[in-house]
Structure 1
């Protein structure tokens, strides 16, 4: 599947207009198309350092040292529209493809990845606790049975709550850092919640779902 998708992106890059349409790019972002054209030969870096954004800023993997860094490399995995799922140290080239992209070959990326990913994720979940911090579009690439899921809520003075949108990634990144570096080995959602609370986060548990609650 990875090879098929890389080949499709390289071929698509030969048509800038089609690439812009499929990948949701403007003409000012044609450098992203050039990256896709060079996918087979461009240099790589570890997945944990390749990806950027609000969650990765809060995770701040580059600042980890010693045993904490080693635990993070062992525990963290990265969801990817192009590669499905990556270990922290897997070498990744620069590219542009999101889970919501619509490639000309047809079908959603979720419909293509699910048959490949879900058996693998199910095997992992059968023996290890998984805390799934992926956004909805990336979680749809392959569901993890029994995974602990996390929602970030803002609580108003009157007690009402609403789902936090953009900044939920920052708090999920913070939780990822805490879980990646702790010496504890949680076995269920209650254990994850306890670790988060010790780190100063307000967390409530509902079965296998956790809610991080913030003041509005």
Structure 2
């Protein structure tokens, strides 16, 4: 099983100062050239505040984040699953997770980064500022990443791919046949409403529970059985698969 996650705009600072970014040590090392090209382009647009504001869509409070892109080679690193923060990643509480949970994430979770392409949950990365819709001059992320990312993700085999990425990041590495979930809320009358911002919280809780149970899930039937065993409501509809957010609140041990 492979779980695909989007990155987060917000990132934790700090990390291990003795471990610098090593592109060849990241998952999918065959993407090193593509990664280096994006880093070079990001460094170029980040060198001046005026260009960084437009290219990276930075406001007055976030403009200093451009400096992260100038220090990628020397900045401290930490595992990607800890680097990202926000409504999807906070439910993971990755820094406090036990070795079994972290091991499952490292084996099964891939994050689709705009800067690095697909990376493993345990890959050591620095803080950076780049989004799927950032403008990097002649280098267009929407053309640069899809073919290379799809090819790299294909090396993981034919097992179940659970795609929890947002639309913009899904476009950077399309995976044919992946299982995408619609996160819904169900009211007292049984009516379902698709969630937008808060769907990330449910996805984070789902990945947290998958990690804690550390179960092998090889196909859709196994995922449905796992969900049922843990009181998670995952149902097939005429439009695909629905994940009921309330069934993951609070997170179940």
Task: Report the TM-score, using the length of structure 1 for normalisation.
Answer: 0.90
Between the aligned partners of 2:135 and 2:214, the Cα distance in structure 1 is 41
- Could you tell me which of 113, 121, 124 is aligned with 1:91? 124
- Over 4 Å off, 4+ runs: 206-209
CA RMSD of aligned residues (A): 2.0
Among 35, 41, 51, the alignment partner of 1:8 is 41
Separation of aligned partners in 2, 1:72 and 1:86 = 12
Cα separation, 2, equivalents of 1:204 and 1:98: 32
Matches within 5 A, 1:173-184: 173-184=204-215
Helix, strand or coil at the partner of 2:61? helix
Q: Distance in 2 between matches of 1:211 and 1:130?
A: 16
Once the two structures are TM-superposed, the CA of residue 124 in structure 1 deviates from its matched residue by: 2.1
Bigger mean CA offset, 18-27 vs 205-214: 205-214
Structure 2, unaligned stretches of length 5 or more?
1-33, 247-253
**Superimposed CA distance per residue, residues 155-178 of structure 1 (whole angstroms, 9 cap, x where no aligned partner):** 234433221001100100111112
Kindly state the Cα deviation for residue 39 of structure 1 after the two structures are TM-superposed. 1.6
Q: Which residue of 1 aligns with 2:218?
A: 187
Q: Is the 8 A contact 2:82 2:94 kept in 1?
A: yes
Counterpart of 1:136 in structure 2 is: 167
Contact 2:112 2:173 in 1 (8 A): no
Give aligned pairs, total.
213
1:120 aligns with 2:152: yes
- TM-score when normalising by structure 2: 0.77
Cα distance per residue 1:161-208 (max 9 Å; x no partner): 221001100100111112233243122122212222322222212599
Structure 1 residue 148: Cα displacement: 1.7
| Aligned twin of 1:212 | 243
Structure with higher RCO (Cα < 8 A, 6+ apart) = 2
Which of 180, 186, 190 aligns to 1:149? It is 180
Shift of 1:106: 4.8
The corresponding residue for 2:74 is: 41
Q: For residue 200 of structure 1, what is the aligned residue in structure 2?
A: 231
Other-structure match for 2:85: 52
Query: Which one has a larger percent helix, Structure 1 or Structure 2?
Result: 1
What residue ranges of structure 1 are gaps of 5+ in the alignment? none
